[in-house]
Every structure is written in structure tokens, then in C-alpha cells.
Amino acid sequence: MNITTLHIDYRNLKGFIKSYWVSILTFFILRINNNVLQKTNFQIFSRIKTVYFFLLTFYCLLPNNSIAKGGLSADKSFYIVHDYQDDWQVFDERYKAYVPYVREQHKGYNSFSLFFDIENYKGYKILYRSEKENYLFIDASLQKKLLISTLVVLDIDSLENIFGKTKLFLTIYGTNTNVEDLSLQIGNKISKSQKAIEMNESLLTILPRDISPFQNFFVVGLILLVCFYAFLYNFQPKSFERFFSPRDLLTISKRDDSFVVNKPFDLGNIFFIVSLSLTLGFIFMLITHEKTDLFSASNILNEGETLGALMLNFLEISIIVFASLVLKYWVLRVLSNLYRLDNITNIHYFKIIQASSLFFLVILIVLTLSTVSIPEIVKNAEKYLSIPISLFFIARLALLYFTINKMTTLKNLYLFSYLCIVELIPLIVGIRFAL
């Protein structure tokens, strides 16, 4: 199969679109004006309208005879870029202005004009041919006598050099002239050096878009998280406002009788622990997808790359995180009893969940945007996130120190040893196993 060059006939396409919309508009006008045939059977009238619509559509699909056959000029030496057959204008004495040419109204006219924009067709040629002798005027200035049945070629770039502007007004004048005898087109010269392109399977191979199962998991998991946060915002508005309030996080009060603080495993509070678990699980999946094996998790996770396997891994990680957070509370409760700090267990645990929820929600947003726009950050997450996460745990440790120090009379040495056991040592061990 040999193809020299592919040309899209924009003029024909434009005419088709116009005709098609006219047919649709007419069809809906008929639908509105049902009162015209009130005495006619409604079903028959509906069928007539439907047939009319499809006949008009079929008519629009018929080829336009005003376009050169095959998109070539009559002598086969130019590709047709645009045809001005439907763009002619005539001067109307009644309106004292140029109006579009209508054959039924302007039969006796001998002068036909159009506006021409050089910017649209730089590098092309103007092609003129007529069955009658005419004269060419540009901006009301006589330029050339146009002979009968002779192809006249005008260089568009030279017109700009001669007239010094890009918008010109062209007029064709002649005795006994009509638009049907005129042909004015924009063409591109066919180069003799053009060679045929051999179409083969390798040239026409269509490859489907490569959508990995992880991309599907990314969308599904993100929707799940958004829905869960929306659920918390609507059904636990006061708790949501407190958990995700930076101002409340930095506020230290000696006595807090809030239900959110003193009932850590109430159903409403458990939902916020679950949201933190899902957030950390999703972040874990984003990071480990780029072959970063945190905590040697590959030994317990499924190796499949299907959507089901990825969702199962996500849920497994989230459950492990949730269990770890629950275990964290009981560790705090045991150690606070040893240090005789029973009254700070709930506020300690609340500050941990509150600070972690705020920080890792920000990390989730950053990684989500990075996955879409800057994948390099996700691919090197251990490089970009190690410092922010380390600073977060140090800041959280300082926050806990000042919170507990204000609520108790414990000596700084004992308080420091308590925080080292419940916060610093688990952090060091976690970093050791994560890398």
C-alpha cells in the first residue's frame, strides 16, 4: 500500500459540521412545534421526524463537489489547503456594506470580493482559474488581467512584501461573471522529490496504553482514604477538628477532661486510629512499590502485581500498624504505672495519635502529588523523607516532654528515662529494622 501524502480537507469538514448542526437544530424545532400537526397521529409524525433527521444527516455525509477531487488542484500540481468557494462577498447598496454572496439574491453582480489573511497561509500559493476573463483588484488597486481558463498562481509571501501588511481585500471583476465560474483556492506545491511511504505493520502498529495494576491500586486506595476522611469529618466533626488542629496540638493544659482524650478506645476514637493506620499503610505501599524493602516486609507480603494482591498487602500493612498503635497504648500504660504516672497515659497517647495524624496526612498529600507530577521524589523516598521524618520524631519527643513535665512533678532525670524507654528506644530500633 503506497501513500504519498495525507491531507485533511478542513473546508469539507467545516461544511459538514455546519450542515450537521443545522439538521439537528431543525429536528429539535420540529419536536417543539408539535402543535402544527395536532390532528395527525402522533406516532406517524414522530416517525416522519426521525426519517427527516437521518435523511439530512445522510445528505451531510455526501461529498462536497466544490472541493477539488482528491484534494488536488485541476492540474494535479498543488495540494488544496483551503477553498474560498463559499467565502465570496458582494457590496449591498441597501446596507452600504459587504454581505455574503447568495446566488438567488445576487445574480446580476459582476464584482466579488473576500478578505484574505496572509498570516494563516504563509508559504502557500493562491490559485485562480475562471471560464471568463476577469480582473484582479487588491485593496481597490488593479493588479492583473486574468485570462480565460488559465491557472494563475500568486505567491502569498510576496504579497506581504509588496503591500507591507498581512490583511488584504481581494476583488474579482468581470463582465457576465458569476461565482460558479470562479475558482480561488490556497494550495501547496507538490515537490517532485517526495517519495512514497511504504506502509507496513511496524509503521502502523498501535500499542495500547500501559496501565499497571499499581496505578489502579493508587486510584482505588486514594478514593478509599478520601471517603474515610470524609466520613470522619461528617460523623465526628468535633473530634476531627481536634485531632487535625495544629493549634490544639501545641496547646498544653494541666487537666483535660475531654472525651476524646480520656476514652482512647471509644468507637469514635478508634476510627481516627484506623485512619492513621490506613494512611501509614498507603504511604508504605507507595514507597515499597519502588523496590524499597522497608522492615523486610517482602517476606510476609504477596508478590503478585494484581490489584487484588496489592489491596490485600495494603490491608495487611494497615492491620499491622493498627495493632502496633494499640500495643503502644498498653506499653504506655504499663510503664506509666511503673513510674507512677497514671494520670498522663491518655494525654500521652492522644498527643502521639494527634501529631502522627497531622504529619503523615501532609506526607500522604505530598507523595500523592509527587506520584502524579514528580515521580522522582517517590522513587527516592528514603532519600527525601528520612530527614523530615527524623525531625518529626524529635519534635514529637520534645512536645511530649513539655506536656508531661507541665502535668507532673516528676524529676527531669526520671522523665527523660521514661521518654527514652517509650519513645527514643523504639524509634532507634524501628530505624534499624526499617533500613
Give the count of domains, the chain. 3
Residue 47 sits in which domain range?
A: 2-61
For residues 237 and 377, membership in a common domain is answered with yes
Report the pLDDT value the prediction gives residue 14, as an integer from 0 to 100.
44
3-state secondary structure of 112: strand
Residue 300's CB: how many other CB atoms inside 10 A? 11
* Helix, strand, coil in percent for the chain, rounding step 5: 55, 15, 30
pLDDT higher at 18 or 249: 249
Report the pLDDT value the prediction gives residue 18, as an integer from 0 to 100.
47
For residues 13 and 53, membership in a common domain is answered with yes
Mean pLDDT of 252-277: 83
For residues 53 and 74, membership in a common domain is answered with no
Q: How many helices (H) and strands (E) does the chain have?
A: 14, 12
Q: Give yes or no for residue 252 having a pLDDT over 80.
A: no
d(CA 15, CA 20): 8
Whether 207 is covered by a domain: the verdict is no
Whether 285 is covered by a domain: the verdict is yes
Instruction: Please give the model's pTM, rounded to 2 decimal places.
Output: 0.53
Whether 269 is covered by a domain: the verdict is yes
For residues 290 and 322, membership in a common domain is answered with yes
Q: Which position has the grid cell 480520656? A: 262
For residues 296 and 254, membership in a common domain is answered with yes
Instruction: List the single range of 114-128, 138-152, 258-272, 286-300 with lowest mean pLDDT.
Output: 286-300
For residues 247 and 306, membership in a common domain is answered with yes
d(CA 107, CA 111): 11
Q: What percent of the chain has pLDDT over 90?
A: 19
Q: Kindly tell me the burial class for residue 221, based on how many C-beta atoms sit within 10 Å of its own C-beta (0-12, 13-18, 19 or more).
A: buried
For residues 166 and 223, membership in a common domain is answered with no
Q: How many CA atoms lie within 13 A of 54 on its CB side?
A: 5
